[in-house]
Structure 1
Amino acid sequence: MNVFKRFLAFCVGVITLVLHGCGATSKDNPMPPTVEVKTTSVQAEGYSQYIYVKASSSWKITFSSESGEIVDWIIAEPSVGNGNKSVTLRVAANESEEERVAILTVSTTGGTAIVTISQKAKKSEPKPDPKPNGGNLSPKTGWLELPAIPEGTDAFTHSMTVGSTKTRNYSFIWDYNNLVAPWVAYPLCKWNIGSGSRSDAWGLDPLLPADKQPVLYKGFKEGNAGWFARGHQIASADRLTSYSSNAMTFYGTNMTPQIQNGFNGDIWAVLEGKVRSWANSSDTLYVVTGCVIDYKDGEKVKYALDNNGKKVTVPTAYYKVVLRYMKNSTIGYSGYSACAVWLDHKVYNSKNINSSYSMSVDDLEKKLNIDFFVNLPDKVGEDVAAKIEAEDPAKVSWWW
């Protein structure tokens, strides 16, 4: 009888230990959350609905744009919780004439659940496109990276897919006489930079005929000023989310003839890396990269030749101008700050990029007669936009 009691006690102990172990495993390894959303396409007037979060641990709900910028026109009440819970989703009225999208993310220690919610644009009387130009880019997009598009200038944009989200890759205007893009504009953040490989897929831009762009499968041939490298405006390393998104950076329309040693492979590459580091420390960095052709009277205009013998003008200078958004930033105004960097196209003995190359957006606008970040006033107001563009980045240590 005593033997049987001892055996029974042993079995109970083993069962208790197993059950305890199973409970610990469940707690230490929570399941990924799920979220049920009844309506993912919302009218412009605004909307409220219940969503249902199912989770085995604590969770947090956040909202971001397709480019990773935090959005505040949609909120969850509550935005944090534990376990299964109904949550109120409130969407503010959309006063814009553009549809907008928010990425709803439920995060737990066990994983994430993501749902895309779109809101229709405010209805308005049809307005004529203010740009009777060629190309597939309209200035009515409202994208923050875009400069003003000069009347009569052809403007283009390329899109890409990051994960399952279709978004813009980069936009540019085209100079048919010099066969270069005076500027290329694009949003930059961790989400759309990615971590893939360089494609080296040198090719033609499908938006332009081959005779209207540089053909550069084999690089530039020597023109009247020696050999030049194929220099990217939007860097290859800025788009590593997929082969396709990276291949677009190798289009002839994104190339200019650049000095290799002492510029493209050195100080320009360092500047590209610095811009990416700024983007990785921001919600979104809106970037404009440009080339300048400004030969003085009587000065020899340098050119390189593409693979078909077409002349491509060698720029005299380059610049990058960026608009940073960081919701909780302690610099700038309303979360925004800006910086412009100018480099003459020449051989530099040092690769170092410092504040001596910088200037305010206002100063660059006066230098080039270009209105950068033309949509910024609609976002923050004329007065705040003016302060952002007037600020001297050399006096803001964050950039350096």
Structure 2
Amino acid sequence: INGESFDLFSGKHSSFGAEAVPTGSGVLKGIAGTYKGRAQISLAKMSDIDGLNGDRFTAGASMTLYQSEYTHLGDAGSVEIQLLSSVDWTASCDTEGFSLSKTEGSGSAFITVSFDANPSTEASRVATITFKAVDAIVAGVVFTLTQMPYQALKSDAVVEYIELPVVDMTSDSLVYISHDLTHNGDLLHNYSLLFDARSKVSRWVAYKLYDELLDQVTSRTDTWAYDPKLPIRDQANIEKRAYTKGVRGHQLPSGDRLFSVDANEQTFYASNIIPQNADMNSEIWASLESKIRVVANDCDTLYVVTGPLLTTEEGQQIEYTTDIDGKRVAYPCAFFKVLLQYRKESSAFGGYSAIGFVIENNTNIDKNISSKYAKTIDEIEALSGFDFFHNLSNEWESDVERTFDANNWGL
């Protein structure tokens, strides 16, 4: 009745009426009922108490966990365990590299488990944290912590696509990443990038545009996500909202990858997203992206490289914004796009011609792109420090990169 006690009895003529009832815990069989407000259980035979073979519990004692398991990335970190207890307790961990903020206590408590990075890049490791009661017979509880393999900052193999700049990975914070997908049963290269873990932005993103890639068979997915090829610790969290300064801008536009859902989803990886001034993003930058699609539809293949200029000659200090987690993310002072078009019917320079653009990352007076923002590839190489279109034949590269004809680009 009161949840704590009941009367146990047998018939007065039963052969086991004088037997002592075990003081342990377990399963008790019988006929339950109440009499004058008291709970009663009537035994029919001695074997009804055979199930009372466990240790005796302390009256009112309890121990449980608010949450009994957790999975963490392979990075170093900590997890807080909430223990709900009415007794004194001890805590222990069976795995090297994990430590507890408390190994004993009384009553309910929060215990922090701290741990190093997983030394393995291939296998998860599991730590078992065991809580036991002191001077009270109550069942212990176990918390299971699984740490995933450590994800290292690692480059993909470089394939020399025409659009690729020279891939410079002299800094240990720079990695080359290539994103591919299956389209119509074939493996298709989507885009490449040079990611900087220190600034948490890609220094350039390179991709192609041609007829098949310009098909519009799907719509914008808005699947903001971490790049699965990069450690989360090195990426900005762009999943829920923009930065404290700037909006989430694409380097490879979502609008350039509407030929498949997979291709469009890859444009929403954090490695392709970068802080941009809101007006610049929605006005002159969008105008340039639209102009590029017009050009791409009019030539055989268009090769594009987009990237940020993090500093200028006047200002060598990188400006930073922050993401929703408080990570510092480089806020560019300007952006560049370099374009190389191929027209097989053209005889000049093997059918290739090029142009570049630089747009400051602020509210611009102009809403539409024009020739005033155009530059030669050589000029943008000097500004950015990157060597573009080096896979072109030496016979044409220098001529293509030192000049441009605005008329060839609809400007």
Please, what TM-score do these two structures have when normalized by structure 2? 0.59
Is residue 194 from structure 1 mapped to residue 215 from structure 2 by the alignment? yes
Which structure's relative contact order is higher, taking Cα pairs within 8 Å and 6+ residues apart?
1
- Given that 1:162 and 1:192 are in contact with CA atoms closer than 8 Å, whether structure 2 keeps it comes out as no
Is residue 355 from structure 1 mapped to residue 367 from structure 2 by the alignment? no
The equivalent position to 1:339 in structure 2, one of 333, 355, 360, is 355
Write the deviation string for residues 136-175 of structure 1: whole angstroms up to 9, x where unpaired.
Answer: 131xx22100000114231010002332221111100111
1:270 equivalent in structure 2: 287
Q: Which stretch of the first structure deviates more once superposed, 301-310 or 249-258? A: 301-310
How much does 1:296 deviate?
A: 6.5
Q: Which amino acid aligns with 2:266?
A: M
Instruction: Count matched residues.
Output: 255
1:176 equivalent in structure 2: 197
Distance 2:370 2:376 in 1: 14
How much does 1:313 deviate?
A: 1.2
- Given that 2:165 and 2:389 are in contact with CA atoms closer than 8 Å, whether structure 1 keeps it comes out as yes
The equivalent position to 1:282 in structure 2, one of 277, 299, 304, is 299
Is residue 216 from structure 1 mapped to residue 216 from structure 2 by the alignment? no
**3-state secondary structure, aligned to 1:184:** strand
**3-state secondary structure, aligned to 2:401:** helix
Is residue 371 from structure 1 mapped to residue 392 from structure 2 by the alignment? no
Distance 2:223 2:154 in 1: 26
**3-state secondary structure, aligned to 2:267:** helix
1:307 equivalent in structure 2: 324
Is residue 237 from structure 1 mapped to residue 255 from structure 2 by the alignment? yes
Is residue 143 from structure 1 mapped to residue 179 from structure 2 by the alignment? no
1:156 equivalent in structure 2: 177
CA, structure 1 residues 146+221, in 2 after alignment: closer, same or farther (shift >3 Å)? closer
Distance 2:408 2:266 in 1: 34
- Structure possessing the higher radius of gyration over alpha carbons: 2
Distance 1:208 1:300 in 2: 26
**3-state secondary structure, aligned to 2:372:** helix
Q: Which amino acid aligns with 1:326?
A: R
How much does 1:297 deviate?
A: 7.2
Structure 1, unpaired ranges of 5+:
1-132
- Given that 1:295 and 1:301 are in contact with CA atoms closer than 8 Å, whether structure 2 keeps it comes out as no
2:46 equivalent in structure 1: none
Distance 2:335 2:345 in 1: 31
* 1:51-200 equivalence runs, <5 A: 134-138=154-158, 141-152=159-170, 153-195=174-216, 196-200=218-222
How much does 1:367 deviate?
A: 2.2
Is residue 329 from structure 1 mapped to residue 346 from structure 2 by the alignment? yes
- Given that 1:360 and 1:392 are in contact with CA atoms closer than 8 Å, whether structure 2 keeps it comes out as yes
- Given that 1:143 and 1:375 are in contact with CA atoms closer than 8 Å, whether structure 2 keeps it comes out as yes
* 1:25-36 equivalence runs, <5 A: none
Distance 2:154 2:212 in 1: 31
Distance 2:315 2:306 in 1: 28
**3-state secondary structure, aligned to 1:275:** helix
Is residue 256 from structure 1 mapped to residue 274 from structure 2 by the alignment? yes
Distance 1:255 1:341 in 2: 19
Q: Which stretch of the first structure deviates more once superposed, 180-189 or 345-354? A: 345-354
Distance 1:184 1:290 in 2: 6
Q: Which stretch of the first structure deviates more once superposed, 185-194 or 233-242? A: 185-194
How much does 1:295 deviate?
A: 5.5
Q: Which amino acid aligns with 1:199?
A: T
1:92 equivalent in structure 2: none
2:410 equivalent in structure 1: 399
1:205 equivalent in structure 2: 227
Q: Which amino acid aligns with 1:253?
A: S
Write the deviation string for residues 232-252 of structure 1: whole angstroms up to 9, x where unpaired.
Answer: 000000101111110000011
Higher helix share: 1
CA, structure 1 residues 397+279, in 2 after alignment: closer, same or farther (shift >3 Å)? closer
Distance 1:359 1:296 in 2: 17
Q: Which amino acid aligns with 1:194?
A: D
RMSD across aligned C-alpha pairs, in angstroms? 1.9
Q: Percent same amino acid among aligned pairs?
A: 36
- Given that 1:359 and 1:393 are in contact with CA atoms closer than 8 Å, whether structure 2 keeps it comes out as no
Write the deviation string for residues 57-91 of structure 1: whole angstroms up to 9, x where unpaired.
Answer: xxxxxxxxxxxxxxxxxxxxxxxxxxxxxxxxxxx
